[in-house]
Each structure stands twice: as structure tokens, then as C-alpha cells.
Chains A and B, each alone.
Chain A
Amino acid sequence: MNFELTEEQRMWRSAVHDFVAKEVKPKAHEVDQNAQFNWEATRKMGPLGLLGLNVEEEYGGAGVDAISAAIAIEELGWGCGSTALSIAAHNGLGCAPITLFGNEAQKRRFLPGVTSGKEKLAALALTEPGAGSDLKKGVLTKAILDGDSWVINGTKMWCTNASIAEFVVTLVRTDPDGGSKSLSLIVIPTQTEGVRIGPPEKKMGVKGSPTHAMNFENVRVPAENLLGQAGEGLYQTLVVLDGGRVGIGALSVGLAQAAMEEALQYARERETFGVPIAQHQAIQWMLADAATEIQAARWLVYHAAWLKSQGLPFTKEASMAKLFATEMAERVTRNAIQIHGGYGYSVEFPVERHYRDARLMTIGEGTSEIQRLIIARHLIEQTG
């Protein structure tokens, strides 16, 4: 066993931390209050490698290992939940399907622009009005091959980044007969005629990360925009989601870390009964629990990332990391408000934002309930 980060990972953490502290964290309040995506910081992320975490260098990415990718998202989450979510979705959901299943021509065509920070980002559209995790039966958006192009019709919901994306990798039904081989992933450039992106959803938190409904009406894209073979879409999606879950776990660790740091600072400064509240056991226990749970979640996330980087199965561990880290972040951010008392409920203090941002994490990219279902299935299959 070795619990040490490599020198590369240590330097990367320090570099991303400095970047986030300077460019991302100071804007988090404004980004949230105005529901405005932080393009200024995002433009600067390209040269650092933050927009091509899992993209090979030859396509403009940084090709970082899975632990370094988790570290980057964790640090972004520490700075701003909204920015972190959009960047996590761009990397883990938008770019990943092309990196994993795209051919050489597709990688050359789609990746260098979105990893540079000069163009818009990437997105993935799975959910529909009648389909969440039940994608196999629920997806109604259909694509029909007509000559040398796909014609796509349907509606997608809750698509993170749709309005700030160059393209949306979209899960569509290519075989009307249904079944697990009836879905496919197709890259749809957002400028294509017939693509309509709805107004940004008004949300409880992560307001600076735009989420949209999308409508496709006779959208025509070249046949070569299909990733892999027709019918592989469900399998591809599940693989992509495994990686995405590690990212959401990492983001949650970052959010919780930020909330704990705020709570710790406040507890040292605020006095009641003549002493700083950090001297009261009731506060100390909340802080101790927070630090312990953050550490536990961080190791779960890093372990899942490590398995991924070793090419070992990590579906169960990714679900465990997401489940624990996201629910932990809810508890820690909740208690950070509790420690702040009345001030914690004010938008003038960042902890209420942390709480609202954290609340999404147990829902997006598979709810806690779905994670438990995945973990349980693995347990039963392994022992049965």
C-alpha cells in the first residue's frame, strides 16, 4: 500500500489549487448570484490542461491519470460548485465518449477546439422527460439513417452545458425494436439546423452551470458522427457514467472541504459565552466529524480513480465513492451552516451556497438510490 501522491500529482494539485484560488473562488458568489457561467476563468483553463483531462496530448488534451483528474475536479469544487460542475461535465461526460469510443477522424474533428478554451465546451444528453436512469426503455429520441446522414427527432432534459457547448453527444434510439442494443451515441453540433436549446433552468444551486432542455426537430448530421457502432450506445453510456461518478464524488469532496474551512475559520473567530465557539464541544464534534468524513470520501474517490487508472473494474467503487462523497457533502455543508448560526443562512456567507450546490450531487449522474442499486447488484452477483 502507498497512500502518497506522486510528485506529478502533488505539483498538479498545487498548480490547480493556486489557479482556482486566484481565478475561480473569488468569482463563485457572483457566478451563483447572477447565474452566469465563468467564461473568463474557463478560457484560461485550456493551456493548463483542465479542459482536456482525459484527452490525449495529440488532440489538444493533457491526458492526465484518473487520480490527477479527480484532484482537478476536487480543487475546482473547492472553489466554485457551478464552475466545477460544468468543467466536470465537459471532461467526464462531453469529451470522454469521444476519447473512449471515437475514431481518429472524430477525435481530430471534435476535440482540439473544445480542449483549447478558445471555443465552447462539450456536453452529453441522456435524460428525457420520461427517462432518467431507465434509459434502455425510456429514451424516445430517435435517429434514422437517411442516405449518408442521421435524422434526429426528440427531446432531452437537464443537459448540463448545452448552451455553452460546441456539440452535444446525444443518446438516441437507432433501432425502433428496442432492447439493450437499440441505442447509440451521436455527436450533434449545437449549431445544426433544427437544434433548439431551451432557456436555462432555474435551479436551487449550481446556478452558474447552465442546464437546459433540448429539442431536435429533423436534425440532420453526417453518418460519421456516430460513435463506435450503432447499438453500442447504452454500454458506452454506462462506461462514461462510471467515470463521471468519480468526478461528482471528487467535486463533492471539494465542496465539503470549502464549507469546513469556512466553518473552522468562523468557529475560531465567533465568540459566545466569552470564548470562541470552537472551544465548545458541540462545535468541535461537528468539525471533527466533517474532517473525518471528508478524508474517508477522498480516499474512496481516489481509490475508484486508482482502479480506473490501472484498467481494473471500478463500477462498484465509483458508485460507492459517489454515494458516500455526495451524501457526506450534504451533511458537512449542512453543519457548516449550523456552525455559522444565523449568518450561515445569509447569502453574504458562502456556506449556504455550498449547501445548495451540494444538494444536486446526490441526484445528478445517478441518484443515491441508483448508486445503492448498482452496489447491491454487484454484491449479490459476486456472492451469489
Chain B
Amino acid sequence: MKIVVCVKQVPDSAARVVVEHGEVTWGDAPLVINPWDEYAVEGALRLVDEQGGEVIALSMGNEQAKEALKHALAMGCKEAILVSDPQLQGVDSLGTARVLAAAVQKIGGVDLVVFGRQAIDGDAGVTAAMTARLLGFPALTLAAGVRGVSSDRIVVERAIEEGRQVVEGALPAVLSFTKDIGEPRYPSFMGIRKASRAEIPIWSLDELGLPAPQPHTSWPAVLNPPAREITTEMITGATPQEIAEKLVDKILAEKVL
């Protein structure tokens, strides 16, 4: 199988993301591979472990996004490609999907395009479906696992709110994985050695034959969540039993439960 896994470089989940002067900032916190995308890489690698083939990591972003790609290489992806162009600054989800779809077509012969369920920065969670639409591939989103693959079909188990749903689709397809796929593997030293020596090609919009995407959505204002008034009350009592009972009363009185 030839699998393309799309990864994004995002601020570390431990970073404090705030709005300052109308701009989103995470200070000097490091950028990391989107945690959901690590599951996507893991899912893709597991498929290739079983079925044979290769996984190519693809990202759109500036030079720093190479770090996310190197992480994917260190985990075991065979190649990595970065799409980078000054005209892509601030592009929306649809624009991103157009770029990724064009890159998948340029790579050619792809059986499966794999995403994480969403990116932890924008949290839109629509890029996988949009990319599928643009490629004309079926979108099998929120896959918890792959039940079976043949030369032209794939069966996945989806994790949805109501439970699990088994869906079959034609290949080539777009998949997004949830964390049910299993813990992402740790990069090995051998993988790191390969990643640190890898030359990652950078494709521009010209090379993809795309015009600069025109945004369909914009963010007129970004606001911090309103500060909440928090008061702390220490519950005291002679015995743990008494403290617990008082706590239960409080919880019921405040309608927390």
C-alpha cells in the first residue's frame, strides 16, 4: 500500500495559548507534531507493517513544520514532503485541503490518505473530509481501527458517539484515525538517525500548479475565554465520613450532579 499521512506542526499541548493584542500567541513554547497526527502515523505504519508498502508523511506549513515531518520519519515513515509557500500564510481549512489534495495527486498512486481526527490548534476537524471531497475519494473518518483491506476495498470500524460503526469503502480513500488505534510508537535511535539525515523536499504552489488559495473563512476577532470568578471553600469535619457527607450536600445544592 502507498499511504500518505498528513501531519501538522502545532504549539505543544502544555503551552499556554492566549490572545494578546488580537493575536494568538503561545510565547516561546515549543512546536510539536499535532498529537492526533501521531495516532495517524501509528495507524498508517501498522497498516504497512501488516500489508507491506510505504508511508509518506506530508505537511503544509513553514520551515518549522519540518520538525513534525522528522518526527514522523523517526517513527518509521519512509519519506517526507513539505508544501511551503509564503502565499499560504493564514490559509483556511479549505485552502489547506486544496493544497494537500494537489500534493497527493502529485505524489501519485496513493491508496490511502490518513489524517488525525483534528488539529489541536484550529480544532476545525474538517480537513480530512474536505481533502476527500476534492480528491473524489470516500472519507472514512474517526476510524478506531482497520478491520480489513483488499486490493480495492477497506473496512474500518468508526468510533462515534452512539458506539461503533463498521464502514466499507472503495480504495483509494481518506481515513482519519482516533486514539483507539493504539499508542503511537516511540521513535527509535535508528529512526532518528535516518530522520536527522533526511533531505525533505519543499514543494511550492507553483510546483503544485495551484493559484494562491482565496480564503472562504476568516477570523475577524479572536478572544480569550472570559475570566471566571473562582472561590475556594475548605470543607472541614471531625471525620472523613462527615467531610464526605458535607461535600455531597454541597455538590447536590450547587446542582453539579
Contact = CB atoms under 8 A, between A and B. Distances in A.
Given A48-B188, A57-B190, A62-B190, A15 B74 contact: yes
A8 interface: yes
B219 interface: no
A7 B195 CA distance: 9
- Name, among A6, A11, A44, A68, the residue most crowded by chain B CB atoms within 10 Å (CB to CB): A11
A62 B197 CA distance: 16
Contacts of A19: 186
Interface in A170-216: none
B186 A44 contact: yes
Contacts of B192: 8, 11-12, 15
B246 interface: no
B189 A62 contact: yes
Interface string A1-22: 0000011100110010011000
Contacts of A102: none
Contacts of B70: 11
A49 interface: yes
Interface in B177-203: 185-190, 192-193, 195-197
Contact of B196 (A8, A44, A57, A64): A8
A154 interface: no
A57 B186 CA distance: 18
A47 interface: yes
A289 B187 CA distance: 35
A11 B193 CA distance: 9
A15 B186 contact: yes
Given A11-B70, A11-B196, A62 B188 contact: yes
A57 to B, nearest CB: 7
Contacts of A48: 186-189
A11 B188 contact: no
A381 to B, nearest CB: 37
A64 B70 CA distance: 18
B196 A47 contact: no
Contacts of A7: 196
A12 B197 CA distance: 13
B196 A49 contact: no
Contacts of B190: 49, 57, 62
Interface in A17-62: 18-19, 44, 47-49, 57, 62
A11 B187 contact: yes
A11 B74 contact: yes
Contacts of A64: 189
Contacts of B187: 11, 15, 48
A18 B189 contact: no
Interface string B60-92: 000000000010001000000000000000000
Interface in B207-231: none
Interface in B34-73: 70
Contacts of B189: 12, 15, 48-49, 62, 64, 68
Contacts of B197: 8
B186 A18 contact: yes
A6 B192 CA distance: 11
B193 A8 contact: yes
Q: Most chain-A CB neighbours within 10 Å: which of B189, B193, B197?
A: B189
A18, A44, A49, A68, most chain B CB atoms within 10 A: A49
A49 B186 CA distance: 10
A6 B196 contact: yes
Interface in A56-107: 57, 62, 64, 68
8 contacts: A8-B193, A8-B196, A11-B187, A11-B195, A48-B187, A62-B188, A62-B190, A64-B189
Given A11-B195, A15-B189, A68-B189, 20 more contacts: A7-B196, A8-B196, A8-B197, A11-B74, A11-B187, A11-B196, A12-B192, A15-B74, A15-B187, A15-B192, A18-B186, A44-B186, A47-B185, A47-B186, A47-B188, A48-B188, A48-B189, A49-B190, A62-B189, A62-B190
